[in-house]
Amino acid sequence: MDQPQDAVDRSGKLTRPRCHGDFFLADLLGFALKADATSMEVPIFSLSTRPDLAIEQWTSQDGKRRITVTPSVLGRATQHDKDVLIYATSQLTAAADLQLPDAKYRTVRFAAYDFFKTTGRGASGADYRALKLSLRRLQGTTVTTNISTGGIQIDEGFGLIDGWRTVASEKRPAMVTAVEITLSIWLFNAIQSFEVFTLHKDYFRLRRPLERRLYELARKHCGRQPAALIGLELLRQKTGSKATLNEFRRMVREVMIADSLPEYRLLLAQNDTVTMYTKDHRKMTRAVTKLSELQTSWFRPPSRGESS
């Protein structure tokens, strides 16, 4: 990455350079939160709040898709570290919608304060240090996969980000003002192909990593549908949880009772089937009405002249 020019003004705020370099400046307002479809489906990020040094391996049920996530000495990138990628993905997707010319670059520069504000974090020294640690884990965590994004299959190892840089005011060197990251080609291809899902604005209010994963999976599996079914063991695998099935059952039931997920609710049945369904009463009513109409047509007795 080239050295940033005119990155901060005298007040310490990020400024847009008069001439762009080879980067995208993430300074858009009013954008929707977006996440790439693959990371919502596959357990790439650790749910642990402690350094996770275990290698995560996942294979789809049909055996055709696989992914291996290898941590660095700092541990695997966490579900909260993913906030950096969600922020960049959201900004780049909005820029692509607006057809901004700098949306073609996979190096993204943004103001640390804007990131903190969007993700509901503070702006203390501890928050700045945590952000730097997140960047280090993101670069150090490597992915090996045959899952294609944007119609391109990359069967090789790569970091979740290719590189990062922070910029600080000379007067306050401990306080990061601007952040610059280079996204992996794998993620960038997904963004460019709009292989993304919109997240609810309250996503960042979910503090527990498991709640975030359950929401992501509900959002991905339900899509435009009002509900989706999944077995508890398969759900445990997709979340990336290391808990025993009994413990995972307890945690899912806890989330179900708390009803803490935006947009969706969970229903855990006695046969260990989990139903993820929308909180949108109108969408659910339309689905039930459509099902009722279909059932009525199935069992409607033949009219005169129709063969039975």
pLDDT per position as a tens digit, 239-296: 999 999 999 999 999 999 999 999 999 999 999 999 999 998 887 777 666 655 545 5
Using DSSP's 3-state secondary structure scheme, residue 103 falls into helix
How far apart, in whole angstroms, are the C-alpha atoms of residue 158 and residue 139? Answer: 9
| Domain's final residue, options 199, 218, 243 | 199
**Do 179 and 56 belong to one domain?**
yes
* Mean pLDDT score, 169-176: 67
> What residue type is assigned to position 138 of the chain?
L
Q: Got the DSSP string for 242-264?
A: -S-HHHHHHHHHHHHHHT-SSSE
Residue 213 resides in a domain: yes
- Dihedral of CA atoms 156, 161, 163, 168 in degrees, nearest 10, equals -170
Residue 165 resides in a domain: yes
Give the count of domains, the chain: 2
Residue 173 is predicted with a pLDDT of: 60
Residue 72 has pLDDT above 70, yes or no: yes
Residue 10 is predicted with a pLDDT of: 38
The residue that leads in pLDDT, 118 or 302, is: 118
Kindly tell me the sign of the dihedral angle through the C-alpha atoms of 253, 258, 260, 261.
positive
Least confidently predicted of 2-16, 44-58, 128-142, 175-189: 2-16
Distances (CA, A) of 115 to 55, 87, 93, 136: 29, 7, 16, 17
Using DSSP's 3-state secondary structure scheme, residue 289 falls into helix
**Do 101 and 173 belong to one domain?**
yes
How far apart, in whole angstroms, are the C-alpha atoms of residue 99 and residue 117? Answer: 25
Residue 306 resides in a domain: no
Mean pLDDT of the chain: 87
> What residue type is assigned to position 68 of the chain?
T
Answer yes or no: pTM beyond 0.75.
yes
Residue 46 resides in a domain: yes
pLDDT per position as a tens digit, 105-152: 999 999 999 999 999 999 888 999 999 999 999 999 999 998 888 887
**Do 214 and 141 belong to one domain?**
no
pLDDT per position as a tens digit, 208-232: 999 999 999 999 999 888 999 999 9
How far apart, in whole angstroms, are the C-alpha atoms of residue 51 and residue 74? Answer: 6
**Do 159 and 214 belong to one domain?**
no
Residue 284 is predicted with a pLDDT of: 76
In terms of residue numbers, what domain contains 271? 209-299
**CATH code of the domain covering residue 282:** 1.10.10
- Which residue is it, tokens 């979340």? 239
| Band of pLDDT at residue 302, cut at 50, 70 and 90 | low
**Do 111 and 173 belong to one domain?**
yes
